[in-house]
Amino acid sequence: MFSACREPPAADGVCTCTPGNVSRIKARHETAPMDGGTLLAALRRHQTDVRLGKNARDIKIVDDELRFSIIDFCQPCGQWVDDRMRMEDMFPLDRIDQATRAICMGLVLRDGTIAYGDTRPRACR
């Protein structure tokens, strides 16, 4: 009757979605659609604003706008980005100093490896 609780967790399976890592939307104050470099710059601005103790409401407003751009950037996998996710959940911001560009819910590091955020589906890492 409770055997399901004793079963090992189900495997994540195979990734069924490949993000485009391209945006048709211009990020705030940008002249061209967001790419991996502009996304990384926006994440660095977010981290700086948090570190400087800027008003949390102001940070949330900017993050909400950025989240919409990330949804477009991640297409056709936009469903990965929930409307309540924080930047810290989507991206491994503790590794941002090593990053050369950003991808959908991940950072490309100087050595060419990719560090993914906690909320990117495990099968797609």
State the pairing for strand pair 114-116/106-109: antiparallel
Percent over 90 (pLDDT), the chain: 70
Residue 102 per-residue DSSP state: E
Distance CA 65, CA 76 (A): 19
In angstroms, the first-to-last Cα distance of the chain is 35
pTM of the model: 0.83
Supply the mean pLDDT for the chain.
88
Compute the average pLDDT of residues 2-22: 70
